Copies of this chain bind each other. A is one copy, B any other.
Amino acid sequence: MIIVLKNNKSEKEIGAFKEYLEQKYNVGVHVSVGHDSVVLGLIGDTSAVDEDSIRAQEIVGEVKRVGEPYKKANRKFHPDDTVIILGNGLKIGDGSLTLIAGPCSVESEEQVTEVAIEVEKSGAVILRGGAFKPRTSPYAFQGMGADGLDLLKKARAKTGLPIISEVMSSSQIELFDDVDIIQVGARNMQNFELLKALGKQPKPIMLKRGLSSTIEELLMSAEYIMASGNEQVILCERGIRTFETKTRNTLDISAIPILKKLSHLPVFIDPSHASGLPWLVEPLSMAAVAAGADGLIIEVHNNPAKALCDGAQSLTPEMFDSVVKNIKKVADSVGKKL
């Protein structure tokens, strides 16, 4: 961390500030006296140094963090890709492309099982399905809850597909005991109490980027989970909020190579939520694979028009099958196994 002091500070003031930094944060401080400014360089582990608090000091002009504020999620300290292995032996982040598919909401045993059978045929290796649904309106369908999780498990029993579902509160976590991957939705990306609780779970967590969260904030939220003990984190970009209105959100495709460079964690893309439009799922999926994504999570419903939630963005099983064929071509071209 580089701190530029305001002009015209006395040696005594500078010395006192140097001592304060050394003691408060247990770091070394290198003082460099320039022509018209004094620059301090902080040496050592500065991840706990609060930029805002430094900035509040009367003596300080500018602050610039040189290193990253995350450690466990940082590729610098963990150069190899993290590979996550599920109970059935499925590997995520090992250079293959992982397809997750399923309905937005679990609605009935028939629905989820039928979709599971179909998407597996097309190439999906994990089944998604919402049991607890974060809905903008309190009057909208809020999901089947624990019953929905049971139906997902039945579909897993039938197909062998591991399951992923979203948790909305730490009080729900125990219901997810037998769920293979727990998802944190975009709206909860900075629900820090939830992140800490998930850090104590012995299973992978898929962490979705918040609608207005920066890439660095996403990594800091991953750090919350990892610092609490759980290093099996999957990052997921699902669109950010911009002024453009043709799509529900704007897929930040650059997030893929940037996250892969800064972190060792697997990076997934959710083209269904990013666009909100079923016909965009194919080109966005193909782009994501070309840009280096480790996996995709796609909404598939056997009857989108009757879906209780977000049907507008779901593919039918037939559409999904066709999309996977085109995804496969791109995956082949970049050396990713599907």
Chain A contacts to B: CB under 8 angstroms: 2, 4, 28, 30, 32, 34-37, 39, 41, 43, 47-48, 50, 52-53, 55-58, 61-62, 64, 66, 69-70, 134-142, 168-172, 187-188, 190-194, 196, 210-212, 214-217, 220, 223-224, 227-228, 240-247, 250-258, 261, 274-276, 279-280, 283-284, 286-292, 304-305, 307-314, 326, 329-330, 332-334
For chain A, what secondary structure do more than half of its interface residues adopt (helix, strand, loop), or is it mixed? Answer: mixed
**Contact, CB under 8 Å: A254 / B250:** yes
Minimum Cβ distance to chain B for residue A236 (Å): 16
Supposing A307-B56, A311-B53 touch, asked if A243 and B214 sit within 8 A by C-beta, the answer is yes
**Contact, CB under 8 Å: A275 / B254:** yes
Closest to A244 in B: B214
**Contact, CB under 8 Å: B254 / A252:** no
**Contact, CB under 8 Å: B284 / A334:** no
Closest to A57 in B: B305
Q: Which residues of B contact A53 (CB under 8 A)?
A: 305, 307-312
**Contact, CB under 8 Å: A2 / B227:** no
- What CA separation (Å) do A43 and B228 show in the bound complex? 46
**Contact, CB under 8 Å: B275 / A283:** no
- What CA separation (Å) do A308 and B64 show in the bound complex? 19
